Chains A and B, each alone.
Chain A
């Protein structure tokens, strides 16, 4: 059965069900669920992962699959194993991909586990990367475009939080602003019946409110923090449970994290869709036209949502052309015509971030991740050819990772690199009053500001 059929079937099957959204990114899942609610679907984010997640995930897998699979499966199984579980009122959201990495197997495997547990009728909703996730749109008109806006909004809010938190004066203020901003945007995104232009107008107004929330967080923007680019496998780098709060650790060690966002993956799948159409010799096809139009529409939406943040994001700009700014620089290490998926983004984004002034790159992957093991092999050469930019791979699988141990020394290296590097970091205006501090040595366990 193809994806279109799956989607149509599942649309009807969704009536009266709660659609559970996996918590890949906290903000993204919340915005996504709100968007589904606007189309009349009861949609909720799975509760935060815990030890029970890992127990159930472990019980129903062999331990050799990737870690995100264990987390997402375990989170869904907690719902199945709950006392009030009603299969007739449950559905799960699990996107697909057409390989070559293992991510695309999560949904088929989830279906098999549900069938083994006697719940084969519980629908698993799976849009696919084959068509750049167009399938999302089959559940309600314009849903795909609304979902895209939800992703962009979540990315922007996270970015605001990440650029504020390291500098907040009172611990917890930035997180509180983040929570408040999500509530504002959820309310807007879950509103039914908005036309696309009303939807956008409301979203932009909401985003201005959110921007002001973050601007109001009392903070001391000093230039003595090291900028650490965080790249790697999407689930593990975004999901704080899986990466054991890696970003907070970086911040506690005197860093500020620039976390690769979710939209880059969408830009990549759009590019890859166009690339494959072109490689098949169909440059001037209807399919190509559709792909180009979709990309344009998405770029236009992103532009509008980003507009209120022009001043805040000076120096924090994401690449606007995924090929020119990410895939092409990555080509000498991993050419995107034969290295597929996140690995090229990891490599290309590392180079991009170095140019934006990052003092080090942390590549986060689940233990045994096929992407991470490829990037780990090529990053040392990339580092050598980029002024010995400090680059470090960290692997996670719910056990302790090597991060605790090695972060000190990594930050030490990043500090040394900061003093000798040539790219200059641009700062937004909030930093203006702060003189360039001399970063002597960062990475001791004693935290700044304490």
Chain B
């Protein structure tokens, strides 16, 4: 939703979307795969919202008469309790109320007996904001050259003006209120009113999730991801004020938070908050509101004065809310609770964002939440380290954007210069509007006068059917859309061309290759093979086996939105995303009316490494048992499921033993079945060998050319399902010219990882860690780790990747059904940028000196 606001949707559309989301979430998360026999009653307070009612009808495909809102729907449970009481004899004793009240008071007496933590103190917090003076315009009335930085975030929009020396001329921190365009327009006008006659805008930079839209609207010279901007701003301030640059940045904003690890000013690791609100500012604000404490000033004052902060632990937002209420009812002092909350924010951030990544010696704490000194004190206490809060901590991203804009304009490699035919500043976004070099593209303060139109349409590029908005800003088109926005999205470009073959496409070709399959009679029984989970690796085995048995294979569609929705509608419990998708693929095949469904119990992988087990995960092993029990597939006759146990580790003999009874059932002679198994194993081996050979060739090519490459590693069903990973490999190759090597092109079976983990019994886990070890040995190989939310094995495997890669930073992309392209591409760009894939060969301009090398934003 937050991202939808960024992309320029009107609040009404956002609200409508919200109602639909409530209904859809209710269906997929609560109702799940149960069967609904209309009519249904809709009770609870939300039923008063007619938009949600409408959305519920749509989500459950109900007629108006089939969804009833009974009278008193908001108080249904209380009504039931009253009826129950009457049935019980009507003498529900009111004296019980007095007893309950007495019990409550007894609870309150126990106040002070709560678990507590050490009191907060700011003695190890360095507040740099106390050391800056307000900017004064020259007394002679002359104008000042300034650079405008705009950070359009989910909750707040920040605008700053920086002079040529790097001084803060003006700073605006306002709520985005779901209207990024209006907010920017209003505040630019206000800025013009206050300062317009005294300043000259020499350059504009935008950042934040709305950077592209606003960048086009105001005419930005530099459009950069937030990570690079935060780093640029923080490094500049650190160097200038304390002569040190941060090696660690904690950034906690309203709805998101970031962690950046730097080494000599270069981004070596970073992460963004992954779908968790408990470590962000808005959570703190909501709790403060409940406690009747103003988040500004009062919160920190109370918290810092508390002698016994309550230990709230670290946990999810919903639970924390419950805990705070519980302590309140039990009579905890407000000061102790807010101090506990400050600790919780810090713990949540460390446990859910940093997650064991490196915390250095020069720690900057910034973002809107850093205005709260109690949180800074909590970090200092937990980490037993100095915490530095820079000035302008709420707007550092905008400061960085302004500094980068200055650099772009002065170095003549800004957007305008790029359009004039000069080499594009890679990583900056390229527009077609002609302009002279060295000049800003700023359109002026009156953004409202900029003519733009908005057109909405549905992309028909694929079955995802994304809703796309097209903003036409004076003839310049900018597009916004969800998943597949790559078709329209403008992005960082690179002149880099890949030097190795398109391995992903080659693999797909080999995986789907039917040329060696024997012909099957047209009237042969059809067997549906879901193109999910292990099929994305074992399809050659499956199809060869089935074809040699005289069966016709029918594949499900590639993963798309329809498949995902069918999967969500079919799962009973809440497994990981790939398992949900697999349910969707089965649904697709069932709908096509195949004769049989091929859903083997894959137990383990074939490998040369026999010192550890080579299991797949328990959800994969039991997928057939779980799928068969789904009410969505209750109509499939039991005999239509083909679910042999395939223990590839047991080799040819084991497979023959397991498949024998299935051959009997399908009336296939054992001889034919055995021949089919031999052919299937040969086909699988040929597929694997081709991948390994191509991988060898690619590595040799990189070695010879000295070009860097990116290994994309993870489970095959994440790495090779473009519907899961939003085509990350293709995008990296096409847009940024990256040499992409998927992990199954590397033969890592003989790499021993037992010094790191002597008991890695999952084969994919072993392959992932072994691949990381290989990376550590190749300086020119970098890595993107593709995983999915809720992956049980990866929750442990990931801890062994970093030591295996010998600390080499890699990008982690975690996918689920809600992954969005803009978020993923921001991460990719920032990673590629910091790895030098997007770095232009640019002369760097120091702030305040005009030309030459300097501090701050050097790493562009």
* A residues apposed to B, CB below 8 Å: 1-2, 6, 50-51, 54-55, 58-66, 96, 98-102, 104-105, 107-109, 112, 128, 279-280, 333-335, 337-341, 343, 368, 370-374, 376-378, 380-381, 393, 397-400
| B759 with A98: CB separation less than 8 A | yes
**Chain B hits for A99, CB < 8 A:** 613, 615, 761-762
Given contacts A105-B796, A370-B617, A371-B618, 9 further A-B contacts (CB under 8 A): A6-B758, A62-B351, A66-B795, A98-B612, A338-B603, A374-B575, A376-B573, A377-B629, A378-B629
| A100 with B618: CB separation less than 8 A | yes
**Chain B hits for A279, CB < 8 A:** 650, 654
**Chain A hits for B315, CB < 8 A:** 397-399
**Chain A hits for B622, CB < 8 A:** 334, 338-339, 343, 374
| A62 with B356: CB separation less than 8 A | yes
Known: A55-B347, A109-B799, A339-B625. A100 touches B313 (CB 8 A): no
Q: How far is the CB of A180 from chain B (nearest CB, A)?
A: 29
A341 to B356, CA, bound (A): 30
**Binary interface encoding of chain B residues 781-798 relative to chain A, with 1 for a CB under 8 A from any of its CBs, else 0:** 000000000101111101
* B residues apposed to A, CB below 8 Å: 115, 311, 313-316, 318-319, 322-323, 347, 350-352, 355-356, 571-575, 601, 603, 611-613, 615-619, 621-622, 624-626, 629-630, 645, 650, 654, 754, 756-762, 790, 792-796, 798-800, 803
| A98 with B629: CB separation less than 8 A | no
**Chain B hits for A58, CB < 8 A:** 313-314, 347, 351
**Chain B hits for A339, CB < 8 A:** 618, 621-622, 625
Which residue of the partner chain, among A108, A334, A378, A400, contacts B760 with CB atoms under 8 Å? A108
**Chain B hits for A104, CB < 8 A:** 759, 761
Q: How far is the CB of B314 from chain A (nearest CB, A)?
A: 5
**Chain A hits for B625, CB < 8 A:** 333-335, 338-339, 374, 378
Residue with the highest number of chain A CB atoms closer than 10 Å, among B316, B793, B799, B803: B799
Across the two chains, which residue of chain A brings its CB closest to B314? A58
Known: A98-B613, A109-B799, A374-B573. A337 touches B759 (CB 8 A): no
| B795 with A374: CB separation less than 8 A | no
| A109 with B796: CB separation less than 8 A | yes
Q: How far is the CB of A102 from chain B (nearest CB, A)?
A: 5
A398 to B115, CA, bound (A): 15
| A100 with B616: CB separation less than 8 A | yes
**Chain B hits for A6, CB < 8 A:** 758
Q: How far is the CB of A248 from chain B (nearest CB, A)?
A: 19
**Chain B hits for A376, CB < 8 A:** 572-573
A368 to B573, CA, bound (A): 10
| B313 with A55: CB separation less than 8 A | yes
Which residue of the partner chain, among B316, B612, B630, B792, contacts A370 with CB atoms under 8 Å? B792
Q: How far is the CB of B613 from chain A (nearest CB, A)?
A: 5
Q: How far is the CB of A444 from chain B (nearest CB, A)?
A: 10
Which 7 A-B pairs rank lowest in CB-CB distance, beginning with the nearest?
A399-B319, A99-B761, A376-B573, A64-B795, A338-B601, A100-B615, A105-B796
A54 to B323, CA, bound (A): 15
| B759 with A107: CB separation less than 8 A | yes
Known: A105-B759, A340-B618, A341-B618. A368 touches B792 (CB 8 A): yes
Across the two chains, which residue of chain A brings its CB closest to B613? A98
| A54 with B619: CB separation less than 8 A | no
Q: How far is the CB of A93 from chain B (nearest CB, A)?
A: 16
Across the two chains, which residue of chain A brings its CB closest to B792? A370
Known: A61-B356, A65-B796, A99-B613. A112 touches B762 (CB 8 A): no
| A333 with B629: CB separation less than 8 A | yes
| A102 with B793: CB separation less than 8 A | yes
| B645 with A337: CB separation less than 8 A | yes
A92 to B71, CA, bound (A): 62
Across the two chains, which residue of chain A brings its CB closest to B612? A98
Q: How far is the CB of B325 from chain A (nearest CB, A)?
A: 11
**Chain B hits for A101, CB < 8 A:** 618, 792
A335 to B575, CA, bound (A): 19
Q: How far is the CB of A222 from chain B (nearest CB, A)?
A: 22
Q: How far is the CB of A114 from chain B (nearest CB, A)?
A: 13
| B793 with A112: CB separation less than 8 A | no
**Chain B hits for A66, CB < 8 A:** 792, 795
Which residue of the partner chain, among B311, B603, B757, B798, contacts A62 with CB atoms under 8 Å? B798
| B356 with A60: CB separation less than 8 A | yes
Which residue of the partner chain, among B571, B617, B630, B754, contacts A1 with CB atoms under 8 Å? B754
Q: List 6 A-B contacts (CB under 8 A).
A: A99-B613, A100-B617, A102-B793, A372-B573, A377-B575, A398-B313
Q: How far is the CB of B807 from chain A (nearest CB, A)?
A: 12
**Chain A hits for B799, CB < 8 A:** 61-62, 109, 112
A374 to B618, CA, bound (A): 8
**Chain B hits for A63, CB < 8 A:** 351-352, 355
| A112 with B572: CB separation less than 8 A | no
Q: How far is the CB of A347 from chain B (nearest CB, A)?
A: 10
Q: How far is the CB of B535 from chain A (nearest CB, A)?
A: 17
Q: How far is the CB of B295 from chain A (nearest CB, A)?
A: 24
| A102 with B626: CB separation less than 8 A | no
Q: How far is the CB of A360 from chain B (nearest CB, A)?
A: 19
Residue with the highest number of chain A CB atoms closer than 10 Å, among B347, B622, B645, B800: B622
**Chain A hits for B316, CB < 8 A:** 399
A393 to B798, CA, bound (A): 28
**Chain A hits for B115, CB < 8 A:** 50-51
| B621 with A338: CB separation less than 8 A | yes
Q: How far is the CB of B757 from chain A (nearest CB, A)?
A: 4
| B760 with A343: CB separation less than 8 A | no
Across the two chains, which residue of chain B brings its CB closest to A100? B615
**Chain B hits for A343, CB < 8 A:** 618, 622
Known: A338-B603, A340-B621. A54 touches B314 (CB 8 A): yes
A59 to B379, CA, bound (A): 13
| B619 with A374: CB separation less than 8 A | yes
Across the two chains, which residue of chain B brings its CB closest to A62? B355
| B630 with A377: CB separation less than 8 A | yes
Residue with the highest number of chain B CB atoms closer than 10 Å, among A62, A101, A335, A377: A377
Across the two chains, which residue of chain A brings its CB closest to B319? A399
Residue with the highest number of chain A CB atoms closer than 10 Å, among B318, B571, B612, B626: B626
A108 to B314, CA, bound (A): 25
Q: How far is the CB of B287 from chain A (nearest CB, A)?
A: 15
Q: How far is the CB of B37 from chain A (nearest CB, A)?
A: 16
Known: A340-B618, A343-B618, A371-B618. A108 touches B575 (CB 8 A): no
| A112 with B314: CB separation less than 8 A | no
**Chain B hits for A373, CB < 8 A:** 573-575, 619
| B352 with A100: CB separation less than 8 A | no
| B759 with A55: CB separation less than 8 A | no
Q: How far is the CB of A150 from chain B (nearest CB, A)?
A: 24
**Chain A hits for B574, CB < 8 A:** 373
A333 to B630, CA, bound (A): 12
Which residue of the partner chain, among A51, A64, A377, contacts B311 with CB atoms under 8 Å? A51
Q: How far is the CB of B795 from chain A (nearest CB, A)?
A: 4
| B796 with A380: CB separation less than 8 A | no
Q: How far is the CB of A101 from chain B (nearest CB, A)?
A: 6
Q: How far is the CB of B642 from chain A (nearest CB, A)?
A: 14
| B619 with A108: CB separation less than 8 A | no
Across the two chains, which residue of chain A brings its CB closest to B382? A59
Residue with the highest number of chain B CB atoms closer than 10 Å, among A55, A62, A343: A62
**Chain B hits for A338, CB < 8 A:** 601, 603, 621-622, 624-625, 645
